[in-house]
C-alpha cells in the first residue's frame, strides 16, 4: 500500500509539472537573439607547459571570470582573467564568431591573446547551450582543447545587457 501511494504521488506530481517541463524551442532563434553583453565564469584544468615550454608539464586547476559580447551578426569580443595554478593571466578574446542552431546549441570559435606571454593562440571551439528565457538568458558551455595549452573547462554566462560595445 505504501508503495502504491508513493507511485501515485510521483505520477501526480509528474503530470502536474509536464506542461512546464518541455524542451525549449530555438527553431526561430538567430544570432541577433543572443546579442548583448554577458558576464561569465568557469573552471577546469590546463597544462601550461603546452603554452610555455619552460614550465613544468602536467595539468593544473584553473578558474576564470570575464565578459564577452555578441554583436547579433555572428561576431564579438571579450576578455577573461585567468588564475591557472596561481599564475595570473589576462586574456583578450579576438576573432570571435558564433552561430545559433535550431537545437538551442551555439557553436563558437575564438582566439586568445595572452598579455603576459605576448602570444595569441587559437582558434579554439566551444559548444554552448542556450538556457533561460530571452529576458534572463544564460549560456552554458564546455571547452575541450586540442591545441596548445590543451585543457578542459565548463562555463556559464549570464546576459547583463542587450547592448554591446
The grid coordinates listed for 21 are 517541463
Q: Which residues contact 47 (CB under 8 A, 6 or more apart)?
A: 57, 58, 59, 60, 149, 150, 151
Range of lowest pLDDT (37-41, 45-49, 80-84): 45-49
The answer to whether the CB of 106 falls within 8 A of the CB of 88 is no
Residue 139, in any domain of the structure: yes
pLDDT in the model for residue 146: 55
Judged against a pLDDT cut of 90, whether residue 136 lies above it is answered with no
* Domain assignment of residue 3, yes or no: no
96 is a domain residue: yes
Into how many domains does the chain fold? 1
- CATH no. for residue 139? 2.40.128
The verdict on residue 43 lying in a domain is: yes
Model pTM score: 0.78
Sign of the dihedral defined by the CA atoms of residues 31, 33, 39, 43, in that order: negative
Do the domain assignments include residue 34? yes
Q: Among 140, 132, 110, which residue's Cα sits nearest to residue 33?
A: 132
Comparing CA positions, the residue from 77, 76, 37 lying closest to residue 158 is 37
Range of the domain at 74: 24-161
- Give per-residue pLDDT as tens, 68-115: 999 999 999 999 999 998 989 999 999 999 999 999 999 999 999 999
Q: Is residue 11 one of the residues assigned to a domain?
A: no
* Alpha-carbon 136 to chain mean position: 16
Amino acid at each position: 500500500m505504501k508503495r502504491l501511494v508513493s507511485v501515485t504521488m510521483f505520477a501526480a506530481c509528474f503530470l502536474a509539472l509536464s506542461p512546464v517541463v518541455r524542451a525549449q524551442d530555438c527553431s526561430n532563434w538567430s544570432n541577433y537573439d543572443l546579442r548583448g553583453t554577458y558576464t561569465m565564469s568557469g573552471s577546469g584544468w590546463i597544462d601550461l607547459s603546452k603554452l610555455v615550454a619552460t614550465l613544468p608539464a602536467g595539468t593544473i586547476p584553473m578558474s576564470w571570470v570575464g565578459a564577452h559580447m555578441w554583436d547579433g551578426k555572428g561576431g564579438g569580443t571579450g576578455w577573461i582573467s585567468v588564475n591557472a595554478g596561481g599564475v595570473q593571466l589576462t586574456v583578450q578574446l579576438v576573432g570571435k564568431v558564433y552561430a545559433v542552431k535550431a537545437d538551442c546549441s551555439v557553436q563558437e570559435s575564438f582566439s586568445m591573446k595572452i598579455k603576459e606571454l605576448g602570444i595569441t593562440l587559437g582558434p579554439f571551439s566551444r559548444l554552448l547551450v542556450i538556457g533561460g528565457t530571452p529576458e534572463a538568458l544564460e549560456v552554458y558551455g564546455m571547452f575541450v582543447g586540442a591545441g596548445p595549452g590543451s585543457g578542459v573547462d565548463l562555463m556559464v554566462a549570464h546576459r547583463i545587457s542587450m547592448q554591446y560595445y
